[in-house]
Amino acid sequence: MSDRIEIRALRVLGTHGVLPEEQARSQPFELDIDIETDLAPAAASDQVTDTVDYGAAVDLARRVVETHRYALMETLAARVAEVLLADARASAVTVTVRKLRPPVAADLASAGVTIRRSR
């Protein structure tokens, strides 16, 4: 399917990481999300009930980042995808998670992972 809903640069504070200091305080994460779904019904009806509501998807993703703790970004991304795939209209979800302040001794803007999950 080539139809998709795009959510870009969702910034959320979360407590995720392997290091003790990452588990002790929140840090900024950025998410990009693609939800593959058939957009034809919504295009024809002009009704939000015929599509995946991106506002609801943002709220779900934000809650996963804010309320859970994971050591790995891989686990965080997989959990966000799993929650979003609970909407039967979503056939696949791609989630990119970036840690905006990675704890490395280098001038690095971000470190991240991208996963894709489908039915």
Catalogue the active-site residues: 99
Tokens 């050591």 belong to residue: 71
Helix then strand count (H, E) for the chain reads 4, 4
Residue type (1 letter), 82? E
Query: Rg for the chain (alpha carbons), in Å?
Result: 15
Q: How far apart are the first and last CA of the chain?
A: 12
Residue pair 14/76 in contact by the 8 Å Cβ criterion: yes
